Amino acid sequence: MVVLEAPTESKMAPPHHFDWDINDTNIPKVSEFDPFVEWTDGHCRFVYPVEQEEAKRHSSGWAMRNTNNHNVNILKKSCLGVLMCSLRCTLDGGAKVHLRPAICDKARKKQQGRPCPNKSCSGRLEVMQCRGHCGYPVTHFWRHTEHAIFFQAKGVHDHPRPEAKSTAEARRSLTGRGLTSTLPGQTSHRSLHPRPLHHHHNPRISGNKRPFLLLSLPRPLGRVF
């Protein structure tokens, strides 16, 4: 018989004077709360006040997506890993390509196989999946009560951190796309040429005659004297 040692609490877990589990029928009422932790790692538990905005949004530095849970009172989220270059290239500044995988399965599938955004690299993007919870993705649990928001994490991430969510959103707002060939330290070469004017088609124009714009003018009201 093999006896498995129970997972120990992460060093980042605060020393509460009470013990609880996210699945407990009765959750304790607390008066002291923890500061919000964006990059939780390891088995840890935190209690946030109900007005904590990041906790209300179930935010995390890791790329987490909602997963099915048998308890409707508990939100379960699983880690999606990180999007990396297949050649594990290094940028000029020494950083690595660690992009944020899309939450949507269809969008994440489109991310994979794209050229590495590092212009000097010939690699392709691939997802390094999270297997830090007994071979499964690290899991986050959220539970709301009238007086607090309870958080519990299970597992240790076995992959690098993805880029911050704010960085990914800023890039999408600039390019209108989830991925681009521009990374920190690289210059974006966006076209500065204005869009060409679209002329209205006139069947009477033929040959090499120069097309002209057809303007639609409002009709005058009443009689014109």
pLDDT tens digit string along 184-225?
545 443 333 334 444 444 444 444 444 444 444 444 444 444
Per the CB < 8 A criterion, the answer to whether 191 and 182 are in contact is no
User: 22-53 pLDDT, tens per residue?
Assistant: 999 988 888 899 999 999 999 999 999 999 99
State pTM to two decimals: 0.69
Beta-carbon contacts of 80 under 8 Å, excluding residues fewer than 6 positions away, are 63, 64, 65, 101, 103, 108, 127, 129, 130, 137
148-163 as b/e, with b when 16 or more CB fall inside 10 Å?
Answer: bbbbbbbbebebeebb
Domains of the chain (ranges, CATH numbers): 44-175 (2.20.25.670)
Q: What is the DSSP letter of 50?
A: T
Q: What integer pLDDT is reported at residue 69 of this predicted model?
A: 81
User: 56-66 pLDDT, tens per residue?
Assistant: 999 999 999 99
